[in-house]
A and B are shown apart, each in its own frame.
Chain A
Amino acid sequence: MSDVEEAVIQAHHAEWARVVAALTRRFGDLDIAEDAAAEAFATAVERWPADGVPPNPGGWLATTANRKAIDRIRRENKRDDKHKAAQLLYDDDPHEPRDAIDDERLRLIFTCCHPALGMETRVALTLRMVAGLTVPEIARAFLVQESTMGQRITRAKAKITAARIPYRVPSAEDLPARVSGVLAVLFLVFNEGYLATGPDTDPVRHDLTAEAIRLTRLIRALLPEDGEVAGLLALMILTEARRTARVSTSGELVTLDEQDRGAWDAALIAEGHRLVRERLAAGVAPGRYQILAAISAVHTSARDVRDTDWSQIVALYDLLVRLDPSPIIALNRAVAVAELDGPEVALAAVDRLEDKLAGYHAYHATRADLLRRLGCSQKSRAAYDKAIELAGNTAETAYLTRRRDQLG
């Protein structure tokens, strides 16, 4: 890749959200902001190879995008209307001090993740407006038609304008709930990358996990005091650190106990551990992401799976169950219980979840493994069959099939 190409990519990562956010603030219209930002980057791709990379790429892009937006408004000859609309969308109280968190990009993220938008829409809009992915890229990531994804984003922008979803950082009182809404979007993007669904996709979509981490880093920089932001970032980083060890060369999922721990990314693990320690030192009761990150930190602290501190992991799950009584958490807790108290105790706990999890592949995969360890081959085989039938990830299906076929 040439230096200029690299500079464009780097500027795209560093400046896209900033440019879109500034334009949205100025013109009060996400549509104009998105188009003008895209045009400015296209101009950079065209011009930088000949003219050289400008000394201040961000400034250049902002100025160019601004000009493009004004051109468009003039072209549409609706300048007055747009200005009226712009004023409507503006934060009506711009002078309220917000100190460190007064970043344009935060407004953009909170608007894209507004609770009045559907979850799928929030994910799509965040990837487009904040992460700068193109509509075809987002459509591919979520296995929908380009036109469907385009419509979803267009409808969302129209709703934001029509219903007057405000372009601002929520008030202090609403902030915790709204931040947790943003984190839910980022976690969803990450998980789709981590365990991609569909027969024709790569089992791990690195583009999505990387994007989710990049955006979470951004939120972390903007809200450094928020424990759950740090927790989610740590959780993503510690998961990402194991990425290359998670799928074998033959495309099969490698479970935690069988992974080559030497292949884990030591720098990412160190960073994740640092974040978890920071949260422990804060002495504030941890939220869901912080506990999940702590569990991941215990796993990644063991050089050998046999050194894993299972009692610590079960204790963390106990904490988590109190915050989040979902059956999936109970299922994961049972996996740790199997290591501490044996597969029989764990199986009894798993079987109690049948009503709620009968349609979830991991429920059957966990049962299959516990039954195998208890020597119940026939029942184990039936459970593997069910898990394979329900699993959507290619690497996971390959793993489950091998385990089933290895049964005596």
Chain B
Amino acid sequence: MQYLVSVIDDKTNPGSTDRQPAISAFNERLIAEGYWVFAGGLADTDAATVIDNRGEQAVFSDGPFVESKEYLAGVWVWEAPDLDVALKLAAEASKVCDRKIEVRPFQ
């Protein structure tokens, strides 16, 4: 079962910026234990572009699809046997990243 694991940051109360070494170590462990599928940190939401080509022509708009205080700072994809395993890892991830984590199953 694969889970999308989102790292959520808060513009008004951001997590600490010195987490990279801890996150790298955590990633090494995810790989070694067979949970790791994908990981990536995201650039600032200002760098986002939304494309809507449902109409006559593609419309581009600058910025994220929804402006909010909280935003997606990075994602993982994990392979885990069930939600309990994913939640346990996510609890660790939240400490390691110093940020909130959302766990959402793929269909």
Give me the interface of A with B, judged by CB distance under 8 Å: 88, 92, 114-116, 162-166, 170, 174
Q: Quick one: CB contact mask for B64-107 with A, threshold 8 Å, 1 for yes?
A: 00000000000000000111100100000000000000011101
User: A181 to chain B: closest CB distance in Å?
Assistant: 13
Closest A-B pairs by Cβ, 10 of them? A166-B82, A163-B105, A164-B82, A163-B83, A165-B83, A164-B1, A166-B84, A164-B83, A162-B105, A92-B81
- Given A116-B83, A166-B83, 13 further pairs, Cβ under 8 A: A92-B82, A114-B83, A115-B87, A116-B87, A162-B107, A163-B83, A163-B103, A163-B105, A164-B105, A165-B82, A165-B83, A170-B84, A174-B84
Residues of A within 8 A of B82 (CB): 92, 164-166
Alpha-carbon separation in the docked complex, A166 to B83 (Å): 7
Alpha-carbon separation in the docked complex, A116 to B107 (Å): 18
Alpha-carbon separation in the docked complex, A116 to B103 (Å): 10
Give me the interface of B with A, judged by CB distance under 8 Å: 1, 81-84, 87, 103-105, 107
Q: Is the interface of B mostly helix, strand, loop or mixed?
A: mixed
Residues of B within 8 A of A116 (CB): 83, 87
Residues of A within 8 A of B87 (CB): 115-116
Alpha-carbon separation in the docked complex, A115 to B84 (Å): 10
User: A84 to chain B: closest CB distance in Å?
Assistant: 13
Residues of B within 8 A of A174 (CB): 84
Alpha-carbon separation in the docked complex, A114 to B82 (Å): 13
Closest to B103 in A: A163
Residues of B within 8 A of A163 (CB): 83, 103-105
Alpha-carbon separation in the docked complex, A170 to B84 (Å): 9
User: B38 to chain A: closest CB distance in Å?
Assistant: 19
Alpha-carbon separation in the docked complex, A165 to B87 (Å): 10
User: A398 to chain B: closest CB distance in Å?
Assistant: 46
Alpha-carbon separation in the docked complex, A116 to B87 (Å): 9
Closest to B88 in A: A174
**CB pairs A–B below 8 angstroms (27 shown):** A88-B1, A92-B81, A92-B82, A114-B83, A115-B87, A116-B83, A116-B87, A162-B105, A162-B107, A163-B83, A163-B103, A163-B104, A163-B105, A164-B1, A164-B81, A164-B82, A164-B83, A164-B105, A165-B82, A165-B83, A165-B84, A166-B81, A166-B82, A166-B83, A166-B84, A170-B84, A174-B84
